[in-house]
Structure 1
Amino acid sequence: MSSEKKNLLLMVPMLHQGGFERVCIKTARLMQEFYNVHILIFSSKDINFDITGLDVIDIDVPAQKGIVNKVINVLKRVKKTKKVKKDLGIDISYSFGSSANYVNVLSKGKEKVLTGLRCQTDMDNKKNVRLFCNRSDQVLSCSKEIVRELEREYSYNRSTYIYNPLDVSDVQDKGAEEIKDYPFNEPDVKVISCMGRNDYIKGIWHLVKAFYLVEKAHPEARLIVLGAGDWSDYRDMAWSLGIKEKVAFPGVRKNPFPYVAKSDVYVCSSNHEGFPNAVLEAMALKKPLISADCKTGPREILLNEDQYNALIKEIPNGDSITKPIEGEFGILVPDMSEEVNMDPEDISDEERVLADQIIALLDSDEKMKHYSEKAYERALFYTPEKYQASAHEIFKRYE
């Protein structure tokens, strides 16, 4: 191997706020030790990450609406990306997310192409998955479950997983920052937190309905949801349920961690995830964790190895559990519907199960303390150093 650094291109549509965007930035910083790292984005609108010291290339082809415009967009992005790859002499190109994967494989030249299938929504379009598998030198994911699904459904064996990196100290330092607009400063409240944009995959309506039931058992309970989007329909639902004053939707915060740090329990109500960074970040802040057993991610975090292996042996096809599991590191509840239902009077059995588990946690100081300690223990497992070593080992195969 030459002592001269190879050229690594990381490709992501934007650097706004998403989980895989955060992983892209972290990957860039960790790989600078070994490679000349470049980040290619399709639009620089609303960059919300610190990109100091990073080479970020904006090809300026932002997203468009309409099928025709989207096709034209892909062609423009491919043409510009081909030029960037050629001009920089890229050796390895690694993309994050389906729209970046498209451009990465269609602009392939002499470089090695790695695509990232990082969420269950990436797996829903079988045509896309086959394209990425056929044209990639390797598919990377952040979950064992995605690797299992690629083998099971596509007989694809050139895939591997790397768990997302978690800088516990950084999350804790950010969590310790002061905030002036925290909505629940009354004494003796118990706050449930969640980080997630207003998107059906986050299932926030399930959490609001479950909270309605929790509040009946624990009037001191409060709910705060941090993330982008128009939350007016959720505020209306909270008003209809009589809990408007106990639910807050502050929107996007550049640093959401102080809000989570001030909470008592963290809940993930998603119906799709890859490997949820928000869950790991809440665990770094020592928050007891309850999560839906959505297609990928949470079960690998909240269960220990023996529990996970027993589960996939019992349910080998990847379906969700049907009863809650008290995992070693957190509580797993059955997955919930992905069909948005804002009817405040229609509360599903799965929402009742979620509420019951939150209530049981709030009922027991001992249980809260136990899962707080286990959450932090689990967070320490996902070190940036482990991620760096794993990613470098994979990239080295293509140098």
Structure 2
Amino acid sequence: MTAQVAAGRRLALFMPTLTPGGAERVMINLARGFAERGHTVDFVLAKAEGVYLDDVPPGVRLIDLDSPHRLQTMRSLPRLTAYLRRERPDALLAALNHANIVALAARRLAGVDTRVVVSIHNTISSEKARGANSRDRILPQLCALTYPAAQGIVAVSGGVADDFSEATGLDRGQLEVIYNPVITPELATQAAQPVEHPWFAPGQPPVILGAGRLEYQKNFPSLIRAFAQLRRERPARLVILGEGSEADALAALTRELGVDGDVWMPGHVKNPFAYMARSAVFALSSRYEGLPTVLIEALAVGAAVVSTDCPHGPAEIVARTGSGILVPVDDDDALERGLRTALQHPVRPAANLHEYGMDYPPERYLELML
């Protein structure tokens, strides 16, 4: 355990919004961890919107830069600069690459001595490959130019650090790997809450659970196709928690495959942990990740997990916890076999979960920030 950083400093966290996502929940947990250690904390958002707004911890001040929606992160630069000049926090932690770049530019324009630490939550090579515009495609070059000015560069997994170094040319030794603070003291209590849906009642067929943004990265079509194959062999149900642009297409796919009666997609739910604890298997079908928060949470509440061996994070989590099944990316047959195996064999309890708790990660961030 690292030595605790002295309390009483003024800290800020900056990101685009608090719409559903793993990075958003991680930053909320870090804000809580910093405040619990006696620091004054501001949570600064390019636009104060998203379902996680209510989860900002008590005592943490929410700052809304109210940036216009189009290019809202980049267009928040003048107001973030003004915030830094006015408030002069001792340190600023940013998350997600566009916000990281804006945070470093704002510090320079403000002319303040605020220490800036940036954090990388996904594989930048995958973000570049999926980039819809030139701004996304040149992201590695922008990061390579701007990140050396940071007082710390954090990657949420070893794989993310390796990918970032290779894509940008920055020395791998400049990157710190700090796993996400995911497992909160309340997690067990939240997992014990009831789930009213009849599929989770005793004696019902096993439920396979997926959770995440309904977007390309998460590859829920593969999970639905794998489930449809499994469903032909045995009774089972599939629940997918989350919102996103692919919701209608996923619903259409369930109808096309004839499994719509066994698939439920309720959208975003406030307490996904109760669903994880009562599901027979938690499945992650992603094409790429950084350090998938939901996989850690599922393991923490005792669920069996099946995950694609996508870049990056799942293999590290399975190796460090000794629990879970890995399958190739975008391989419906392999995913179906993994689900079937997990349903047939007892789950091995996860180990070393303290690395993803609320003690070690906040302290490591504070060492870099202060």
TM range (shorter): 0.7 to 0.9
Number of equivalent positions: 345
> Scaled by the length of structure 2, what TM-score is found?
0.86
1:43/1:58 contact within 8 Å kept: yes
Cα separation, partners in 2 of 1:206 and 1:174, compared to 1, 3 Å: same
Matched, 1:222 2:222: no
Matched, 1:334 2:340: no
How many Å separate the matches in 2 of 1:180 and 1:389?
38
- Cα shift readout 1:232-278 (whole Å, capped 9, x = no counterpart): 22222111212111111111111122222221101100112111111
SS of corresponding position for 1:9: strand
SS of corresponding position for 1:384: coil
SS of corresponding position for 2:31: helix
Tell me the amino acid that sits aligned with residue 42 of structure 1.
Answer: A
Specify every segment of 5 or more residues in structure 1 that has no aligned partner in the other structure, as ranges: 65-69, 305-326, 337-349
Q: 1:358 aligns with which of 339, 342, 359?
A: 339
CA drift of 1:297 comes to: 0.8
CA drift of 1:137 comes to: 2.7
SS of corresponding position for 1:233: helix
Specify every segment of 5 or more residues in structure 2 that has no aligned partner in the other structure, as ranges: 129-138
- Cα shift readout 1:25-47 (whole Å, capped 9, x = no counterpart): 11111112253221100112234
CA drift of 1:129 comes to: 2.6
Matched, 1:198 2:204: no
Aligned match of 1:37: 41
RMSD, aligned α-carbons: 2.2
Aligned match of 1:6: 9
> Scaled by the length of structure 1, what TM-score is found?
0.80
CA drift of 1:180 comes to: 2.6
Tell me which stretches of 4 or more aligned residues in structure 1 moved more than 6 Å: none
Q: 2:191 aligns with which of 175, 189, 195?
A: 175
1:217/1:359 contact within 8 Å kept: no
Alignment of 1:295-310 (within 5 A): 295-304=311-320
1:10/1:94 contact within 8 Å kept: yes
Tell me the amino acid that sits aligned with residue 248 of structure 2.
Answer: S
Cα separation, partners in 2 of 1:152 and 1:189, compared to 1, 3 Å: same
How many Å separate the matches in 2 of 1:19 and 1:247?
24
CA drift of 1:83 comes to: 1.1
Identity of aligned residues (%): 25
2:305/2:342 contact within 8 Å kept: no
SS of corresponding position for 1:236: helix
Matched, 1:146 2:151: no
SS of corresponding position for 2:162: helix
How many Å separate the matches in 2 of 1:274 and 1:57?
27
Matched, 1:55 2:29: no
SS of corresponding position for 1:5: coil
Cα separation, partners in 2 of 1:389 and 1:46, compared to 1, 3 Å: closer
Q: Quick check: 85-94 or 143-152, which moved more?
A: 143-152
